[in-house]
Amino acid sequence: TAGITQAPTSQILAAGRSMTLRCTQDMRHNAMYWYRQDLGLGLRLIHYSNTAGTTGKGEVPDGYSVSRANTDDFPLTLASAVPSQTSVYFCASSMTGGNGNQPQHFGDGTRLSIL
Amino acid sequence: GQNIDQPTEMTATEGAIVQINCTYQTSGFNGLFWYQQHAGEAPTFLSYNVLDGLEEKGRFSSFLSRSKGYSYLLLKELQMKDSASYLCAAMDSNYQLIWGAGTKLIIKP
């Protein structure tokens, strides 16, 4: 079972360049999430989507955008990367969002370095 | 503001018992999650508590006191493979998870 697939696994990117992190799930989950994880800090929510066609801002949305054209895919785009966006990015999904308490399932992460 | 506190690091001996504490302050509360994260890997779900009391699941148990804003994860019969970070996360009134920084558990033979 694939679960959640993230690509690329890792990337080095020059500051000012744009980048899209891909996330695909095959569990037919309604809700999807993007987090960043930095040393010494908890996971921080960037954007989320409770269902296809809707998105919302999390705790740290600035510099990032998302789209949810269908149930399976939830790409995260950095329009103009800055060094402070160096982090490990995790995509997650859950059966429901916004009115449920289902556990979130995580992809393996994308390690992004902005130079 | 919203906040989750848990110890940064703990050390325990193989075969022993360890308790990892977590205190939380959130705007509203819709449950407390524990996740395990091995180094370089994704977090994986361990437990969920929304009512006061103890939930047991094999070697792992999780406790919640809503009045005290407190939870703990209890790991029994520790094995070397339990060396990992343990993440506490509370769900707020908007059903968003507020995450602690994680407790790195080191198991010694």
Task: Give the whole-angstrom CA distance, residue A9 versus residue A103.
Answer: 23
Q: How far is A90 from chain B (nearest CA, A)?
A: 8
Which residue from B94, B72, B99, B88 is spatially nearest to B28, judged by alpha carbons?
Answer: B94
Distances (CA, A) of B4 to A43, A67, B29, B91: 11, 30, 12, 11
Q: What pLDDT digit, counting tens, does each position of A10-23 carry?
A: 999 999 999 999 99
Interface test with A, best of B30, B38, B95, B98 (most A CBs within 10 A): B95
Percent of chain A beyond pLDDT 90? 90
Given strand B53-57, what is the order of strands in its sheet? B3-5, B18-25, B70-75, B60-65, B53-57
Q: What pLDDT digit, counting tens, does each position of B57-77 carry?
A: 999 999 999 999 999 999 999
pLDDT for A96:
87
* One-letter identity of residue A33: Y
* One-letter identity of residue A35: Y
User: Is the pLDDT score of A100 beyond 90?
Assistant: no
* Residue A43 with chain B: CB contacts under 8 Å: 43, 87, 89, 97, 99
Average pLDDT over residues B4-9: 97
Cβ–Cβ of B101/A99 closer than 8 Å? no
Pairing of strands A31-37, A76-78: unpaired
Q: Widest CA span of chain B, in angstroms?
A: 43
Task: Give the whole-angstrom CA distance, residue B65 versus residue B71.
Answer: 6
Judged by a CB distance cut-off of 8 A, whether residue B64 touches chain A is: no
